[in-house]
Every structure is written in C-alpha cells, then in structure tokens.
C-alpha cells in the first residue's frame, strides 16, 4: 500500500507539472533563446553530434558548449515532435525538483510533513518557475540534478550505491553546465565547517570532494581551453558584453529579490542558515548551509547572473524551510496554541498561494510577453525562408539570432552566444548603427562588412532601439520587401567600392 506521504508528494508533483504545462501550452511558441537548444537537439538527432561548427551563427563560426541537455532533448524527439518535447520535457524535469527537495528535506529533518511543505515551496519558486516554462532552459535539468547529487552526498555513509549514483550523475552535470562548480565549493566549505566544529569527516566524503574537483577542472579545460586562451578570465562570464554584464547585476532591489525567491523560504531559510552556523551540529544541515553561502559568495563576486543565483538560492532556502517548520512545530506543541496547529498549517498553505504560487504565475506570464515571438514574427521568418537565397545573411538583434537560424534557416551576424567572438563590442555597436543610422553610404559600408543581404526589423527591435524604420532606405540600394503587422524586411543590394 502506498504511504500517504508519497501520495501527497505525487499530488504536489502533479499539481506543479499540470500548472506548468497549462501555461506552456497557452501559447504556440517558445522564447527566443529556446530555439538554440531546439536546433542543436535536431542536429544531434540527425548527425549524432552537436553543431560546434555552426554555419548560421555569426555568419559561420566555431562554438563550444556543454551538450548533455541537448542530447536529452534529442532523445525525447524520437517520441514526440521537437516543439512538444521542448515544452513537456523541461517542465517535467523542473517539476521533479519537488521530489528531490522532499528527499533532501526528509534526510535533513526526518519529518515527512515538513518535507512535503518544502516540496510545495520548491515547485513555485517564482524566478525558477518563470525562467523554465517556455525557454527549454538547461536550468530545468541542472537544478533538480544538482540537488539530487546533494541528496546522494548526504547518503553515502548509508549505502555504497549512493557513491556510484553520485559519480554517474555528477559526470552528467559537469557536461550540462559549469554551475556544477557551486556544488564543489559547497562540499569543500562543508568539509571546512566540519573541521572547525570537530565533526568526523569520512574518507568517502574526502574522496568524492577530490574526484568532483578534478573531474570538473579536466572537463572544463578540455571543452573551454580555446575560449580561455582567447578571452582569459572573462570566459567566466561567457564573453558577455559590458552593457549586458551591467544589466545582469542591476535593476533588482531587496524586495524584488524576496519576491523572486519566495517570501517564506527567504525569511525563514535565512534564519535557519544563521542557526546552522551558530547552533546545532548537524552534518546534513551544514552541507545545505555551505551551498547557500557558496551561492551568496559567487553572487557577491558577480561570477553568475542574478537569475541563476536566485534560482539556486530559492531552491536551497525551500529545503531549509523544512527545518524551520519542524522547530516551529515543536515550539507550538509546548504552548497553549498546540490545538490550533492544524489551522496554522492551513494558514501557511494560504501564504504559499499568495506569496509563491500567484507570483510564479504572474512572473511566467510577464516573461512570456517579453521574450516570446508573436505569430506575425513567425510568419515573417517563414517569408525569409521561402523568399531569400539559402546563402543569405540577415541583420537582426542578437536576441533574435537563434530563432532566425531555426525558423528561417539563414545566417545572422549575431546571437546571444557571445563566447569565441573576438570583435563583439564593435559588432554590437555596428548593429545599433545600422538600425539607428541616417546615412546610406555608412550603412552600406557596414552591411558589406558583414555580408548582410536582408535587414529584419521587428517590433522588439524597434522598442529596444527606439526606431520606427530605416532612415536610409532609398528604394534602390535599400529596398523594403516585406511590411506586415509592424514587421519590416529590407533588402540590401549595393556594394561600395572603397578603392
């Protein structure tokens, strides 16, 4: 017979997954960046390997990235259409975080009710919910996987199968995203805390710490060695342009941060971190506190974006809330309010709905409105595919590069994969000049420089750059060939002889 706690956990998982799918299938398309993952998955299915030599990105370039998530998408495309896989599989993986958080929380507290509450909180972390609904984001894979590894690390003394599981899944994580370094930092910080608190450290913990560090270092040096030689330490930020780098770390105040993470896990998770560092000696609590502190440190050093940092903080604080739940329960049982506990639990669930579920849905809707193409844009891209030569190069904003490559099958001069692009700053400046400039000769020189044949002007680009149309259109060198639903496509036909 199925235990009630597992039935409740199944209901929480089903609730999170069904709400995610309902929102995801409320629109036909994915967000702009998702089409890079979708395109790579299609290439892997056809050839067995990713397109590291990408003929469409930046007019043709070599690009390096970690491919395990793309292989997962490619595998799913054997069962369902690629567009369906890109909506169902990432949301399924993201929903699994509820189960993983339950396991970690139960290992921490030995209390199923507290663990179920943390599982529910983890299903509606506003920033994680919003960023993984329609983006086919690797974070939907990485976050639950990383917390499962933390669970395995907690259990290695109980059964050797968890050592094997840790080794296998850590190798997969290393090939999914460089953020796996945070787990390594957390393990070493955990070992330091144990040493300071004079808690015995097992040989298995030391060996896994050494293995993790060496595997991560070897894999990332092998994959990113060319990028490291070109960019140096800026490879940490994936060669992000200065203006985008600044945008990653500004514009969010303290209260916004709380709303993005979730009010309950933030407030009471922070309290448990404080108690964990200055209170009881609990190895499972120490590894979670070490992880939270590691995330806080790399956020403070600006080594990861606020989005990724808040996602992981939200998840670990959701786990730590289970510890607060247990402490609060035992405190109430010692008071005259003990018989009101069921009503308090109902109140807590109401707070979750108000402070986590509702903000998650609102954030997801906002994210879709800002980052998803319209039907008119997709129609314009279909026109590009059908009415332009296959060798054509399209000028578009970097944010639209992936969707043009996927839907139109044409080269672009920029997209959001900035790594291994040496002239990036100048290239982005030239793109702005081409959209906002007024002089035909200067525009043609730049168009010739990048081999641009067509200029794609969408409502998104017009809003971002505050332009209505190309000021230098003359009907001869620069001709408007498409104009529908506020989307314009221009053809570039002239060459300037500089001799």
Look at residue 2 in the predicted model and tell me its pLDDT. Answer: 58
Place of tokens 């400039």: 437
Give which of 8, 1, 16 is closest to 114, Cα–Cα.
8
> Phi-psi bin for 251: left (phi > 0), alpha (psi -120 to 50), beta?
left
Name the pTM for this structure: 0.91
Look at residue 1 in the predicted model and tell me its pLDDT. Answer: 41
| pLDDT tens column, 386-440 | 999 999 999 999 999 999 999 999 999 999 888 888 888 889 999 999 999 888 8
Look at residue 63 in the predicted model and tell me its pLDDT. Answer: 85
At residue 411, the 3 state secondary structure works out as: strand
At residue 430, the 3 state secondary structure works out as: helix
**490 forms bridges with which residues in the sheet?**
455, 480
At residue 394, the 3 state secondary structure works out as: strand
CA distances from 309 to 96, 190, 295, 365, 404 (A): 19, 19, 6, 21, 30
Domains (range + CATH), the chain: 4-370 (no CATH), 375-492 (3.40.50)
| pLDDT tens column, 78-122 | 998 889 999 999 999 999 999 999 999 999 999 999 999 999 999
What is 206-270 written as a DSSP string?
HHHHHHHHHHHHHHHHHHHHHHHHHHGGGGGGTT--HHHHHHTTSS--HHHHHHHH-HHHHHHHH
What is 364-375 written as a DSSP string?
HHHHHHHHS--H
Cβ neighbours of 360 (radius 10 Å)? 25
**Cα–Cα distance, 204 to 481 (Å, whole number):** 66
Cα within 13 Å of Cα(63), Cβ side: 24
Sheet of 411-412: strands edge to edge? 411-412, 393-395, 454-457, 487-492, 478-484
The pair of three-digit structure tokens given for residue 474, joined into one six-digit string: 């003359």
Report, as ranges of residue numbers, the positions in the chain whose pLDDT lies below 70. 1-2, 233, 243-254, 275-280, 496-499
CA distances from 399 to 32, 192, 384, 395, 446 (A): 7, 42, 17, 11, 20
Q: What are phi and psi of 195, to 5 degrees?
A: -65, -45
**Cα–Cα distance, 471 to 439 (Å, whole number):** 8
Look at residue 342 in the predicted model and tell me its pLDDT. Answer: 83
Place of tokens 């989005």: 307
Q: Are 464 and 397 in contact (CB under 8 A)?
A: yes
What is 258-289 written as a DSSP string?
HHHH-HHHHHHHHHHHHHHHHS---HHHHHHH
Look at residue 278 in the predicted model and tell me its pLDDT. Answer: 66
Q: What are phi and psi of 411, to 5 degrees?
A: -70, 150
């Amino acid at each position: 017979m199925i235990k009630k706690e597992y039935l409740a956990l199944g209901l929480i998982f089903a609730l999170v997954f069904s709400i995610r799918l309902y929102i995801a299938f409320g629109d036909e398309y994915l967000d702009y960046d998702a089409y890079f993952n979708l395109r790579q998955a299609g290439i892997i299915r056809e050839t067995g390997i990713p397109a590291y030599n990408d003929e469409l990105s930046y007019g043709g370039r070599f690009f390096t990235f970690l491919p395990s998530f793309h292989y997962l998408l490619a595998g799913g495309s054997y069962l369902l259409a690629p567009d369906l896989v890109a909506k169902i599989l990432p949301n399924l993986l993201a929903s699994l975080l509820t189960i993983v958080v339950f396991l970690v929380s139960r290992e921490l507290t030995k209390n199923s009710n507290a663990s179920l509450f943390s599982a529910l909180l983890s299903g509606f972390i506003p920033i994680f919910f919003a960023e993984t609904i329609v983006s086919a984001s690797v974070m939907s894979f990485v976050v639950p996987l990383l917390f499962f590894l933390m669970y395995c690390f907690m259990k290695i003394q109980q059964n050797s199968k968890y050592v094997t599981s840790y080794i296998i899944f850590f190798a997969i994580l290393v090939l999914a995203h460089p953020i796996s370094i945070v787990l390594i930092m957390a393990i070493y910080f955990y070992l330091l805390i144990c040493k300071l608190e004079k808690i015995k450290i097992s040989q298995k913990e030391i060996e896994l710490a050494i293995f993790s560090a060496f595997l991560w270092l070897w894999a990332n040096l092998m994959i990113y060695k060319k990028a490291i030689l070109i960019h140096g330490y800026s490879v940490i930020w994936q060669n992000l342009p200065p203006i985008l780098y600044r945008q990653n770390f500004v514009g969010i105040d303290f209260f916004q941060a709380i709303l993005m993470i979730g009010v309950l896990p933030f407030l009471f998770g922070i309290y448990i971190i404080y108690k964990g560092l200055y209170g009881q000696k609990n190895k499972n609590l120490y590894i979670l506190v070490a992880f939270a502190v590691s995330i806080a440190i790399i956020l403070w050093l600006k080594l990861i974006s606020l989005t990724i940092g808040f996602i992981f903080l939200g998840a670990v604080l959701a786990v730590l809330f289970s510890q607060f739940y247990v402490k609060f329960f035992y405190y109430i049982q010692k008071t005259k309010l003990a018989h009101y506990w069921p009503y308090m639990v109902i109140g807590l669930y109401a707070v979750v709905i108000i402070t986590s579920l509702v903000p998650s849905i609102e954030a997801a809707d906002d994210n879709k409105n800002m980052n998803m193409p319209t039907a008119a844009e997709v129609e314009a891209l279909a026109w590009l595919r059908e009415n332009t030569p296959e060798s054509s190069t399209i000028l578009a904003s970097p944010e639209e590069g992936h969707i043009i490559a996927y839907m139109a099958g044409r080269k672009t001069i920029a997209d959001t994969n900035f790594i291994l692009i040496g002239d990036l700053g100048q290239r982005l400046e030239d793109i702005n000049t081409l959209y906002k400039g007024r002089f035909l000769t200067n525009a043609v020189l730049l168009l010739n420089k990048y081999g641009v044949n067509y200029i794609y002007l969408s409502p998104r680009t017009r809003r971002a750059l505050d332009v209505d149309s190309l000021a230098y259109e003359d009907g001869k060198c620069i001709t408007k060939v498409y104009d529908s639903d506020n989307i314009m496509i221009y053809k570039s036909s002239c060459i300037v002889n500089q001799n």
